[in-house]
Amino acid sequence: MTGPPAVTTTREPLEPELERRVRALEAGADAGSDFDAASWFWMVLLGIVLPAALLVWGWFG
Amino acid sequence: MPKTREAAADTSVWPLLRRERTWGPWRLGLALATAAAATWCYLIGGYAGNYLNFFQGSLALTAGSMIGMLLVLLAAGPICIRFGIESVASTKPQFGSKGWTIPALMQLLSIIGWNAMLLIFFAKSLTQLLSVLDWLPPGLGAMQVIPFTTLFACAVVFFVLLWGASGITHLSNILVAHVFVGLWMLYLLVSRRWPDLIAAHPALAQPDPVWNYTTGIEIGICSLVSWWAYIGALIRMAPDGRNIVVPVMVGMGLPVPLLSLIGVAGVLVLKDSDPSSWLRNVGGHLYAIIALSFVAAANFGTAIAGIYASAIGLRNFRRLEKLPWLVVLLMTIMPVAFLGMFVPELVFNRFGTILALIGVCFAPLCGIQIADYFVLRRRHIDVRAIYETHPGSRYYFWAGFNPAAVIAVIFGIALYVYLLNPLTYESHGPYRFLTASLPTALVSALIYIAITRLVVMPAGRGGYAPRIDSEHAAATAPQ
């Protein structure tokens, strides 16, 4: 199985200040981090486990 | 308002750099709680209290709210937090370099509608307060005072937001007290009317208890999903994804259902969800003054966050990108002021429609964003392409629009309306077991994935293919 074909894209000049920001983000150090394992733990706990427990309690309680 | 280039970044739609994103978890949580806690919580609770008793209504609303908050966080959160951008800009990889105007319009309409509503409630609370203090001239009611208080409120919002996001933080440190005042109001009502509350029967409860319970959950989900419009502008002020989950889920997800309990209790016992209408009867003169002051002020906090998010969203339009912040703010506030000053009754009487339409639009949007980021792009986003608009750019798709996203949104809205008519609450199919928002988000996501895999990817559109010229490929990968 092959992936989608590679596509040649062209660059568009950005505003100087925007260009500075985008370059800083592309360099990596100025970008924020994605969710880590602890984030996923809290999301599962607060967004799935807690609501499920509340719903069971509300129905059978 | 003199600002340095970097200090002014929070009034721009351009990405914020990590060093400019100074909100820690506490500050973010406070800002989110202030934004979430407003009169609409009482109305949301009032809707649930029409179908469920206090116990079930409380739990169903809380569960639905947390589920809705998770959907919003998964949809807009990753892109906004990684690149310091707001919600509308985060939709460009899905909707295209021109198609983002669709979510932008949704955001603008919802925020203008909600904020016009909040400022009218602010006027109502202020009128009640003036009445309690005997400062209201005889013969004047809320509707007569609203045009003046709306103008006053809009002026305050405008001047606070001249400071950008820092205006929100200054105010949120004070206004977050409303959450605690709200809990005190709940205690007041529950402790003094407990027997009535336990004995109360929801006025519009259906014979089917499963339907009633599901409707309570659905009200929670669709209310919180509407936070999509706000969340990006606030979480982009924090530097890391790892630090936002608890502030978002607890700071924004929990205050809404907690304060909604006031509405549930109010509608069950007193047949009125808005405490500004019944506080004097329940708590007495002094309690009414304290509580009404905070209720009025709380709507300010939310309106400020809403106007800020909407103004930042408007910056995505190239013509507005470089306009002075003051002008963009005025453009955002003027429609709100117009609605509040000239047609307040029209807005006030259409609250249910506003809430319903927001839920219908944002659930598909969340499904599409989650599918695109986690399933199709595997968390790889090209931040440069978000700002490129020419036909050769990665997110240009066809004429700037991604048909997969447009079709998925249309199908999603149609499915929602089939499952639950948001105006009549007439339901069909598996609604009573699944809610309307969750299957809508799921089906929209599946349609988006299918069209992308069958049409968009084979055509080499949308930046799903490797980029030959990219010297920054590594930077597009998640940290």
Candidate from A12, A26, A31 with C-beta closest to B393? A12
Q: Do A26 and B384 touch (CB under 8 A)?
A: yes
- Chain B partners within 8 Å of A22 (Cβ): 15, 383-384, 387
Contact, B196 vs B267, CB < 8 A? no
At residue B8, does pLDDT exceed 70? no
* Listed ranges B107-111, B144-148, B214-218, B227-231; the one with the highest mean pLDDT: B214-218
Check residues A29 and A45 and name the one with the higher pLDDT.
A45
Task: Work out the pLDDT band at B188, boundaries 50, 70, 90.
Answer: confident
- The number of distinct structural domains making up chain B is 1
Check residues B114 and B383 and name the one with the higher pLDDT.
B383
Residue A57's contacts (CB-CB under 8 Å, 6 or more residues apart) are: B59
Q: Is residue B434 part of a domain?
A: no
pTM: 0.89
Q: Mean pLDDT score of chain A, rounded to an integer?
A: 85
At residue B172, does pLDDT exceed 70? no
Phi then psi for B43, rounded to 5 degrees? -70, -40
Q: What is the pLDDT of residues B386-444, one digit of tens each?
A: 999 899 899 999 999 999 999 999 999 999 999 998 888 899 989 999 999 999 999 99
Q: Is residue B107 part of a domain?
A: yes
* Listed ranges B55-59, B192-196, B420-424; the one with the highest mean pLDDT: B55-59
Task: Work out the pLDDT band at A7, boundaries 50, 70, 90.
Answer: low
- Chain A partners within 8 Å of B83 (Cβ): 25, 31-32
* Listed ranges B19-28, B289-298, B466-475; the one with the highest mean pLDDT: B19-28
Best A1, A14, A19, A35 member to test B by mutation, with max B CBs in 10 Å, is A35
Q: What is the pLDDT of residues B11-24, one digit of tens each?
A: 788 899 998 898 99
Q: Do A32 and B70 touch (CB under 8 A)?
A: no
- Nearest chain A CA: its distance from B167 CA (Å): 23
> What does the pLDDT read at residue B359?
66
Q: Which residue of A has its CA nearest to B249?
A: A46
Q: Is A16 on the interface with B (CB under 8 A)?
A: no
User: Picking from B9-13, B39-43, B457-461, which range would have the lowest pLDDT averaged per residue?
Assistant: B9-13
Q: Is residue B163 part of a domain?
A: yes
Q: Do A32 and B249 touch (CB under 8 A)?
A: no
Chain B, window 202-221: residues with a beta carbon less than 8 angstroms from a chain A beta carbon? 213, 217
Q: Is residue B435 part of a domain?
A: no
Q: What is the pLDDT of residues B249-270, one digit of tens each?
A: 999 999 889 989 988 998 998 8
> What does the pLDDT read at residue B205?
94
Q: Is B458 on the interface with A (CB under 8 A)?
A: yes
What is the mean predicted confidence (pLDDT) over B184-204? 87
Burial track B221-241 (b if 16+ CB lie within 10 A, e otherwise): bbbbbbbbbbbbbbbbbbbbb
Q: Mean pLDDT score of chain B, rounded to an integer?
A: 86
- Chain B partners within 8 Å of A61 (Cβ): 55, 59
Contact, B379 vs B138, CB < 8 A? no
The CATH number covering residue B149 comes to 1.10.4160.10
Q: Do B388 and A42 touch (CB under 8 A)?
A: no
Tell me the C-alpha to C-alpha distance, in Å, between residue B296 and each of B119, B138, B293.
Answer: 9, 21, 5
What is the residue range of B100's domain?
A: 8-351
Q: Is residue B126 part of a domain?
A: yes
- Nearest chain A CA: its distance from B406 CA (Å): 22
At residue B210, does pLDDT exceed 60? yes
Q: What is the pLDDT of residues B333-380, one digit of tens each?
A: 998 888 888 887 777 676 566 656 766 889 999 999 999 999 999 999
What is the mean predicted confidence (pLDDT) over B136-153? 77
Torsion of CA B438, B443, B444, B448, to 10 degrees: 140
At residue B26, does pLDDT exceed 60? yes
> What does the pLDDT read at residue B470?
44
Q: Is A2 on the interface with B (CB under 8 A)?
A: no
Q: What is the pLDDT of residues B31-42, one digit of tens each?
A: 888 888 887 888
For A28, which DSSP code? S
Secondary structure string (H, E, C) spanning B314-376: HCCCHHHHCCCHHHHHHHHHHHHHHHHHHCHHHHHHCHHHHHHHHHHHHHHHHHHHHHHHHHH
CA distance B371 to B376: 6
Task: Work out the pLDDT band at B229, boundaries 50, 70, 90.
Answer: confident
Classify the phi-psi angles of B137: left when phi > 0, otherwise alpha if psi is within -120 to 50, otherwise beta.
Answer: beta
Task: Work out the pLDDT band at B156, boundaries 50, 70, 90.
Answer: confident
Chain B, window 69-88: residues with a beta carbon less than 8 angstroms from a chain A beta carbon? 69-70, 73-74, 77-78, 81-84
CA distance B195 to B43: 23
> What does the pLDDT read at residue B418?
95
Q: Is residue B193 part of a domain?
A: yes
- Nearest chain A CA: its distance from B204 CA (Å): 19
Q: Is A13 on the interface with B (CB under 8 A)?
A: no
At residue B59, does pLDDT exceed 90? yes
Q: Which residue of B has its CA nearest to A23?
A: B384
Q: Is residue B272 part of a domain?
A: yes
Q: Where are the alpha helices (DSSP H) in B133-254?
A: 142-161, 165-175, 177-199, 209-225, 228-235, 245-246
- Nearest chain B CA: its distance from A8 CA (Å): 5
Q: Is B418 exposed, middle or buried (0-12, 13-18, 19+ CB in 10 A)?
A: middle
- Chain B partners within 8 Å of A12 (Cβ): 388-390, 392-393
At residue B473, does pLDDT exceed 50? no
Check residues B163 and B372 and name the one with the higher pLDDT.
B372
Q: Which residue of A has its CA nearest to B17?
A: A30
- Chain A partners within 8 Å of B460 (Cβ): 4-5, 7
Task: Work out the pLDDT band at A1, boundaries 50, 70, 90.
Answer: very low
Q: Which residue of A has its CA nearest to B251?
A: A46
- Nearest chain A CA: its distance from B47 CA (Å): 18
Residue in B1, B442, B455, B416 with CA at minimum distance from that of residue B218:
B416
Q: Do A21 and B14 touch (CB under 8 A)?
A: yes
Task: Work out the pLDDT band at B474, boundaries 50, 70, 90.
Answer: very low
Q: Which residue of A has its CA nearest to B248?
A: A43
Chain B, window 234-263: residues with a beta carbon less than 8 angstroms from a chain A beta carbon? 238-242, 244-246, 249-250, 253
Q: Is residue B105 part of a domain?
A: yes
Q: Is B134 on the interface with A (CB under 8 A)?
A: no
Residue B390's contacts (CB-CB under 8 Å, 6 or more residues apart) are: A10, A12, B396
